[in-house]
Amino acid sequence: MSVQLSPEKKSFLRYCAIGISIIYILIAILVVYIIQGEKDISKRNHALRMNPEAVEPGKTPPDPLPTNTDFKTVNVGIYLDGIENLSILDSYWTPTFYIWFRWKGDKSLDPGKYFRIVDGKIEKQDLQDSYIAPDGTNYELYRVVARVSKFFNTTRVPLDDHMLNIYVEDSANDVKRMRYVPDPLSGISSRVKIPGYNITGISTVVKPHTYKTSYGDPRVEEGKRTTFSEYNYAVTIKRNSMGVFLKFFIGLYAGVILTICSFYIHPSDTGSRFALPSASYFGVIANAYMTNSFLPSSGYFGLADLVTSIGLFTISLCVIASLISVYFFLQKDEKEFSRQLDRVSRRYIGFGFIAVNILLPFCAFY
């Protein structure tokens, strides 16, 4: 025969259910705010990077282009042929691409001889073709393998998207003598693949890049700055599914689910009751170490850290609820109240954890 609970005990259970619900609602609001904010910042920075008139936050605006100079224009384009490696942990990627230069007039301009990769290193450079057309058009085509530094935004890994950029400048001719013009024939090979990502598009832009130094050259007037024309080729990539996310956190989810299932263990069996949360807690910590091993060291608190923190918090909340339940069962001999407390705890904690962990990856991915 079931025992009727007092009004005070019923109110306590009701407040527990409301309190747990409010906690997970606040967690959901917080994590959505953080992740949505990171998505918006990333999207805005990508748009500014490819806007010829805009400057990304944290970068110094270039000096105005001089208007009283007789400069040559050089058409430049890139065809991306492959990506040998992409390492978020080591902050670089290795593209293989064809780059061409087309200009009229002064052959000594030779942009193919003097071009460089900004924030990168040319590993191999081979001249594929070179000629002068009857109308005086000069053409040069190179095949290049480069290692390009890229400080990836890891706040949404493993549901991230990125913009991979190849910045090309002339090392000898500044904007007073030469300026790039983006060739609309730039493209990307259908063979280019990146495991775990889809290539969502390419774009190109030319922007001025001012160096705030005279490099200590005594021939240069103090405070003088030099501006170069910079060609920017961009490839945007995005995770192709939530499969990597599930691989990252399947151990964490299993541990939290086992912890919630501990509410089905009789409160008198305290050894088994608290063994599951203890093992799960250390399992989540181990999962966090594994996840962080794929990411560079940073002070940012991202998606992986949020999922881990929610998992640890849920296990801790389950342990607190179990302690209260065991106390009422063993010390107060209020077995029915203990049983009802277990039911409320597993229902509302479980639902809150599942709801947040559906909302969080959905917000990060879409």
pLDDT reading at 213 higher than 80: no
- Based on the domain organization, do 86 and 23 belong to the same domain? no
Where among 183, 214, 239 does a domain terminate?
239
| Model pLDDT, residue 1 | 40
- Based on the domain organization, do 146 and 222 belong to the same domain? yes
pLDDT tens for 228-242 read 999 999 999 999 988
Nearest CA-CA partner of 65 in 177, 150, 142: 177
| Model pLDDT, residue 3 | 65
Identity (one letter) of the amino acid at 207?
A: K
Is the residue at 99 inside a domain? yes
**What is the percent of the chain with per-residue pLDDT over 70, rounded to a whole number?**
98
Taking the C-alpha atoms of residue 249 and residue 290, their distance in angstroms, rounded to an integer, is: 10
Is the residue at 2 inside a domain? no
- Based on the domain organization, do 142 and 249 belong to the same domain? no
- Based on the domain organization, do 146 and 274 belong to the same domain? no
DSSP state of 155: T
- Based on the domain organization, do 15 and 128 belong to the same domain? no
- Based on the domain organization, do 196 and 310 belong to the same domain? no
Nearest CA-CA partner of 122 in 96, 101, 90: 96
Place 212 in a pLDDT band, splitting at 50, 70 and 90: confident
Is the residue at 136 inside a domain? yes
- Based on the domain organization, do 298 and 331 belong to the same domain? yes
Average pLDDT in the chain: 91
pLDDT tens for 61-112 read 888 888 878 889 999 999 999 999 999 999 999 999 999 999 998 788 889 9
| Model pLDDT, residue 220 | 67
pLDDT tens for 256-314 read 999 999 999 998 898 888 998 999 999 999 988 888 888 887 777 889 999 999 999 99
User: Tokens 């069962």 belong to which residue?
Assistant: 329
- Based on the domain organization, do 338 and 234 belong to the same domain? no
Among 7-11, 96-100, 318-322, 351-355, which stretch is predicted with the lowest mean pLDDT? 7-11
| Model pLDDT, residue 260 | 94
pLDDT reading at 2 higher than 60: no
Taking the C-alpha atoms of residue 142 and residue 129, their distance in angstroms, rounded to an integer, is: 7
**CB of 169 closer than 8 Å to CB of 208:** no
Please give the average per-residue pLDDT across 39-66, as a whole number: 90
User: Tokens 């224009």 belong to which residue?
Assistant: 73
**CB of 175 closer than 8 Å to CB of 206:** no
Where among 220, 239, 258 does a domain terminate?
239
Taking the C-alpha atoms of residue 183 and residue 180, their distance in angstroms, rounded to an integer, is: 9
| Model pLDDT, residue 208 | 94
The whole domain housing 150 covers 52-239
- Based on the domain organization, do 135 and 199 belong to the same domain? yes
